[in-house]
Amino acid sequence: DIQMTQSPSSLSASVGDRVTISCRASQDISRALAWFQQKPGKAPKSLIYTASNLQSGVPSKFSGSGSGTDFTLTISNLQPEDFATYYCQQYKTYPLTFGGGTRVETK
Amino acid sequence: EVQLVESGGGLVQPGGSLRLSCVASGFTFSDYYMDWVRQAPGKGLEWVGRSRNKVNSYTTEYAASVKGRFTISRDESKNSMYLHMNSLKTEDTAVYYCVTVDTSRWDQKYWGQGTLVTVSS
């Protein structure tokens, strides 16, 4: 199975900050990577697919990059509604696997 | 508007069985792959399994942790997908989500609200 490792597992940030979350795959997944946002008690929300394609309706403050084994999610101008947990997921091969999540908390 | 509504969760004893349902609307159900994803209390997301679309004969894939115990099926006439869960273990306790997979982009765009399964004696 492909292991997905996210870092950091949590971070503290302030409104207006720019934050970066990393995701590393244990083997080459090309660009078969998605990012999700989840708020407490809610279903995950799709943000990005194919490493860098923004899901419709998602603001451009979210951006994704990377290919192969190393990927990044960047959130610009952090707003109160962005404090949440973020997950990466590879869909290159079965089983699909998620990273452990990064909790973005208010400083 | 796409809607996915899961149901069927509840409390079940270890070794028991349960069937979850996901009723879909707002899109052509037979065209889409569909996934089940679960989340244990306070934990991360875990992919459970997939049902391919009609063109691919609704064939399925499963995570190793559920293979042989869980089965995914569909009823096209009811726009519904099911997760048949047998030999349930305490570690199967989780919120179960059904998710659409758009194969033109391979993205999991739409998620249901989830249904909670608790396996406990």
- Give the count of beta carbons closer than 10 Å to the beta carbon of residue B14: 13
Residues of A in contact with B97 (CB under 8 A): 43-44
How many whole angstroms separate alpha carbon A22 and alpha carbon A71?
6
Q: Which of B108, B110, B115 to mutate to test the interface with A (most CBs of A within 10 A)?
A: B108
Mean pLDDT of chain B: 97
Mean pLDDT in chain A?
A: 97
pLDDT at B51: 98
Measure CB to CB from residue B107 to each of A44, A49, A97 and give the nearest one.
A49
pLDDT of B104 reads 87
The residue whose two tokens read 């179960």 is B96
DSSP β-bridge partners for residue A6: A23
State the DSSP string of A27-64.
S--TT-EEEEEE-TTS--EEEEETTTEEPTT--TTEEE
Strands B10-12 and B3-7: unpaired
- Digit-coded pLDDT (tens) for B47-106: 999 999 999 999 999 999 999 999 999 999 999 999 999 999 999 999 999 999 998 888
Question: Which residues in chain A touch residue B113, judged by CB atoms under 8 angstroms apart?
Answer: 43
Phi and psi at A9, nearest 5°, equal: -80, -25
B7 or B107: which carries more pLDDT confidence? B7
Mean pLDDT in residue range B108-113:
95
Q: In this complex, do A98 and B47 lie within 8 Å of one another by their Cβ atoms?
A: yes
Closest CA to B20 of B4, B42, B43, B1: B4
Chain B positions touching A44 (Cβ under 8 A) are 37, 45, 97, 111
The number of C-beta contacts closer than 8 angstroms across A and B is: 58
Confidence class for position B111, pLDDT limits 50, 70, 90 = very high
Q: How far apart are CA A39 and CA B31, in angstroms?
A: 29
Name residue B83's beta-bridge partners. Answer: B20, B72
CB contact (8 A) between residue B61 and residue A50? no
For A35-70, letters b (16+ CB in 10 Å) and e give: bbbbeeeebbbbbbbbbbebbeebeeebbbebeebe
Kindly state the average pLDDT of the residues B1-15: 97
